[in-house]
Homo-oligomer: A and B are copies of this chain.
Amino acid sequence: MKKILVPALIFTFFTGIVQAQTDSAVVKSIFTNILTEGKVYDNLTYLCTKIGPRLSGSANAQKAVEWTKKVMEEQGFDRVFLQEVMVPHWLRGAKETAWFNAGSGKQSVVIAALGGSIATPKDGVEAEVVEVNSYDQLKVLGEAQIKGKFVFLNRPMNPANVDISESYGEVASMRNTGASEAAKYGAVGVIFRSITTLINEYPHTGAMGYTSENKIPAAAICTRDAELLSKQLKANPKLKFYYKMNCQTLPDVQSYNVVAEIKGSEFPDQYIVVGGHLDSWDLAQGAQDDGAGVMQSIEVLRTIKALGIKPKHTIRAVLFINEENGARGGLKYAELAKQNNEHHLVAIESDAGGFTPRGFDIDGPSAVLTKVLSWKALLDAYGLSQIKLSGHAGTDIGPLKPMATALIGFRPDPQRYFDFHHAANDVIGNVNERELKLGAASMTMLVYLMDKYGLKEVSQ
């Protein structure tokens, strides 16, 4: 037995080493290529500065569709195509005005309508203000103390969470549903504290919706002015607040997901997707949210092609439209995948900014986590140490779950994301070139390993 076993073990041992060296060398070449010749930062600079804000339904969103399609065609990928998506068309209209008067004249404050809000009446709304930091407080105050007033939802983002994105979830739901909650008690409008730990002059917008026909307007106030208003309210509970907003919701508009493919050599009808969302809020260049993810996704395909890697599975970059205020692009992609019976080995979403890579969240069977952890030494060597199961990998890939073995969220360092998120300072100047490139390289690395080793362990 010994004589038979030993050579077999040695063979396995050496194969293992050769394999590992090969992967290590390929991954090194991926990082080197992107860090020295990568296009992701230049592409993002163009998107931010030559196109700029690209809210769903806008002329700029259409320009972004056309330009990214052209960029991908110029790369010579095997196939570049559009998927038709009907998207909402909400407009901010003329810039908002807002002030409060605590008895000594009008004090201007900086607000921005939340996406989806109705306009105020033409002359604006003026009323007293009730400040709360939870729906429980709203309930306690009730109609008696709320009717005819603004509700000021002044809940700061909790700084104590080491992963600050956990603090986002705690307040974002209040942004989404605050207007309808306040309307139940007869409020005339909502003033929502911007979701950021910074105290500054940038209002952070974001999606809201109405759960009933009783619609009232809702605006984000910058944190500097939220602090000021709160302070003044303590001294003058009867102060008057005023805002005027000019939003409109027009009929849905035809838009597109932009998709590029490198065909798989062994399993061309099995897909590995990398994606981000092409739309942004109207206030921002959408550099970190999510021009970064879009350009990283294109960069993954560019790098695979540049290095002559021949993937077994078809690799797709998907630039989803309308993540911010409808998620229609993600829904449409999943609908078409189902219709066309396209099995997805994995879909990887980058929508947490172009910061230094930290790891991946896996939404799928634990066998996928086990598989990814089999590459731990390599992942660790590139700082990708935070690998875990999670119930959420990404908004756009979420609907694809029934057609995918696993969904994976790329997780860069979260600390600076909410400094810029949905605000006018989300610009290219706040993106670090190396961090952005390292993210693209990390995604490429995972695609390379997933494609090479597959997920045979997982029942598909």
- Pick out which of these stretches binds chain B: A86-94, A157-165, A171-179: A157-165
Q: Whole-angstrom distance between the alpha carbons of A99 and B411 in the complex?
A: 46
Whether B162 pairs with A438 at a CB distance below 8 angstroms is yes
- Pick out which of these stretches binds chain B: A13-21, A128-136, A256-264, A379-387: A379-387
- Known contacts A159-B434, A197-B434, A415-B435; A383/B358 CB under 8 A: yes
Q: Does A403 contact B (CB under 8 A)?
A: no
- Pick out which of these stretches binds chain B: A30-38, A265-273, A329-337: A30-38
Whether A164 pairs with B413 at a CB distance below 8 angstroms is no
Number of copies: 2
* Chain B residue with Cβ nearest A432: B416
Q: Does A68 contact B (CB under 8 A)?
A: no
- Known contacts A382-B162, A432-B419, A434-B164; A356/B413 CB under 8 A: yes
Whether A413 pairs with B416 at a CB distance below 8 angstroms is no
A371-390 with Cβ < 8 A to chain B: 380, 382-383, 385-386
Which listed residue (B35, B160, B415) contacts A160, Cβ 8 A? B35
Q: List residues of chain B with CB within 8 A of the CB of A433.
A: 197-198
Query: Whole-angstrom distance from the CB of A429 to the nearest CB of chain B?
Result: 12
Q: Whole-angstrom distance between the alpha carbons of A438 and B358 in the complex?
A: 15
12 other A-B residue contacts (CB within 8 Å) besides A35-B160, A36-B160:
A35-B159, A35-B162, A36-B159, A162-B382, A197-B433, A356-B413, A356-B415, A358-B383, A413-B413, A415-B435, A415-B438, A419-B432
A residues with CB within 8 A of B? 31-32, 35-36, 159-160, 162, 164, 197-198, 356, 358, 380, 382-383, 385-386, 413, 415-416, 419, 432-435, 438
> Closest 4 interchain pairs by CB?
A385-B385, A415-B434, A32-B160, A35-B159
